[in-house]
């Protein structure tokens, strides 16, 4: 049977990253797009529990939801596609990288988290650029990694977080399996006065630099590799459990 691939993102249904990805993955099966009706970047893994959601249908198996990326996946898997669940979810192509600690905020990665929890193999794809996007490189590797996952599956509770350097395909040095890296942030809060004399605050979020951690997502992408970080949804810090157990004996 033809494979069914669900595509979503956090940049919204009209994002060029989403549309080129959907076109490319049609080479692998039936593609259905369910994406937010507007930009939901930095939405995190946020689910709309307290309000109804609307779905608008467009030509070509495209659906826009007035909610978060997590809402889109949940509505698609448990609602729209419940009779034939997707074989694969691909979230992206995000129009900037999702590496290091950024993945905890990322709507792109959160969409893939949601489908992973719903037991569908999932991939998040992001392009390390702010402009002049070279989608050809990202779609090439998206298809290749999607093929691998369709054939081999993924461990339960693990998704693939893919980041692609914004360079021509022939300049890519290959794929690296990486660990989550670490950015160094400087986040000054901008304080200003609005036209009506009231104070307001704006969260900065300038990235200063990143730690040079060997084999980390950030380092590998900067070196021209496509980075694949396997992300596990069990966040337990097993290495710290023993010490904590010892320490808290006196407290309990």
What part of residues 78-107 is at the interface with a second copy (CB under 8 A)? Answer: 78-79, 82, 101, 103-105
Q: How many residues bind a second copy (CB under 8 A)?
A: 76
Q: Phi and psi for 8 in degrees, rounded to 5?
A: -145, -175
Stretch that binds a second copy, among 1-9, 24-32, 128-136, 230-238 (CB under 8 A): 230-238
Q: Pattern 19-58, binding to a second copy, x per CB under 8 A?
A: --------------------x-xxxxxxxxxx-xxxx---
d(CA 58, CA 53): 16
Ranges within 116-155 binding a second copy (CB under 8 A): 117, 144-145, 148, 152, 155
Give the pair of three-digit tokens for residue 67: 């909610």
Reference 153, options 235, 222, 88; nearest CA is 88
Is residue 212 close enough to count as binding a second copy by CB under 8 A? Answer: no
If you ran DSSP here, which 8-state letter would residue 91 be given?
E
Element (H, E) at 224: none
Is residue 232 close enough to count as binding a second copy by CB under 8 A? Answer: yes
Minimum CB distance to a second copy smaller for 78 or for 84: 78
Minimum CB distance to a second copy smaller for 132 or for 247: 247
Are 3 and 149 in contact, with CB atoms under 8 Å apart?
no
Least separation in angstroms between CB 60 and a second copy: 21
Are 142 and 91 in contact, with CB atoms under 8 Å apart?
no
Are 142 and 25 in contact, with CB atoms under 8 Å apart?
yes
Is residue 245 close enough to count as binding a second copy by CB under 8 A? Answer: yes
Is residue 169 close enough to count as binding a second copy by CB under 8 A? Answer: no
Least separation in angstroms between CB 247 and a second copy: 6
Is residue 196 close enough to count as binding a second copy by CB under 8 A? Answer: no
Give the pair of three-digit tokens for residue 77: 């898997």
Are 187 and 206 in contact, with CB atoms under 8 Å apart?
yes
Is residue 206 close enough to count as binding a second copy by CB under 8 A? Answer: no
Q: Per DSSP, what are the bridge partners of residue 192? A: 200
């Amino acid at each position: 049977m033809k494979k069914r691939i669900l595509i979503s993102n956090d940049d919204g249904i009209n994002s060029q990253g989403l549309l080129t990805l959907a076109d490319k993955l049609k080479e692998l099966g039936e593609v259905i797009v369910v994406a937010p009706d507007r930009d939901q970047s930095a939405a995190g893994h946020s689910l709309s529990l307290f309000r109804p959601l609307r779905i608008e249908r467009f030509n070509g198996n495209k659906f826009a939801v007035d909610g978060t990326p997590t809402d889109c996946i949940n509505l698609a898997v448990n609602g729209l596609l419940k009779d034939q669940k997707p074989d694969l979810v691909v979230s992206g192509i995000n129009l900037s990288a999702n590496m290091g600690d950024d993945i905890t905020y990322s709507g792109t990665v959160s969409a893939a988290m949601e489908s992973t929890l719903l037991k569908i193999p999932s991939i998040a794809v992001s392009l390390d650029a702010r402009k002049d996007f070279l989608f050809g490189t990202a779609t090439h590797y998206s298809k290749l990694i999607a093929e691998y996952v369709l054939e081999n599956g993924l461990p339960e509770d693990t998704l693939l977080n893919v980041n692609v350097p914004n360079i021509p395909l022939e300049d890519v040095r290959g794929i690296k399996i990486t660990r989550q890296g670490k950015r160094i942030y400087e986040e000054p809060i901008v304080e200003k006065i609005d036209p009506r004399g009231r104070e307001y605050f704006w969260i900065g979020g300038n990235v200063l630099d990143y730690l040079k951690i060997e084999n980390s997502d950030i380092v590998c992408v900067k070196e021209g590799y496509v980075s694949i970080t396997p992300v596990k949804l069990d966040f337990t810090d097993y290495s710290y459990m023993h010490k904590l157990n010892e320490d808290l004996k006196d407290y309990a």
